[in-house]
Amino acid sequence: MRRAWLGALLVLLALDCLLNMLLGGSIRNTLSGEAWHAREHRWWGWTHRFIDALFFWQQKHCQTQALRELAFGSVWAAWLHAWRA
């Protein structure tokens, strides 16, 4: 069941990272992670609060995602670690 969820999550992560790249970010990071890093930005500072509201069931979603991406080097490495666990 866990691997089925991770497989479905892979498709969503790919779309997330593609959109992030189209907006000028890295293909290695999610919009959530980028939003957390831009929290002090004049124009994009609101985005982490918006995304956190979308993921209301996850406390501090953007911060958690940004730290996970930093710890593993990319969202892809984090996903692979979860797959192998």
Provide the Cα torsion 37, 39, 40, 46; round to 10°: 150
When pLDDT is cut at 50, 70 and 90, the band that residue 1 belongs to is confident
Q: pTM here?
A: 0.90
Asked if residue 80 has pLDDT above 90, the reply is yes
Indicate the DSSP class of residue 27. T
What digits encode the pLDDT tens for the residues 9-67?
A: 999 999 999 999 999 999 999 999 999 999 999 999 999 999 999 999 999 999 999 99
Contacts of range 37-42, beta carbons closer than 8 Å, 24 or more positions apart: 37/66
